[in-house]
Amino acid sequence: MAHDIVFFLAADDETAAATSLRGPGEAFESVTCRFIEPDSVIAEWDMYFEEPSAEAPPVEQLLGWAWPEWVTAP
């Protein structure tokens, strides 16, 4: 299911985890994105940053990506 999510840069994992229930608020500069599939979008965006392209990464590349660790439960 797609969600609206807010991206921001925290100084460390503890700071990021402390915002999990309330969001970054005014304390962090942030960007809100709508209709995001959180399970796959992070992997896709990471691949775009590694090799910018107008096309979506191939499914094989997406499935083989090393997923990040959670700082708090999704």
Between the CA of residue 22 and those of 17, 26, 34, 58, 72, what are the distances in Å? 10, 11, 18, 35, 13
Phi, psi angles (nearest 5°) of residue 15: -65, -45
Question: pLDDT tens per residue, the chain (74 residues)?
Answer: 567 778 888 888 898 888 888 888 888 888 887 777 766 777 777 777 777 777 777 778 777 877 767 777 66
d(CA 6, CA 64): 26
pTM assigned to the model = 0.43
d(CA 12, CA 15): 5
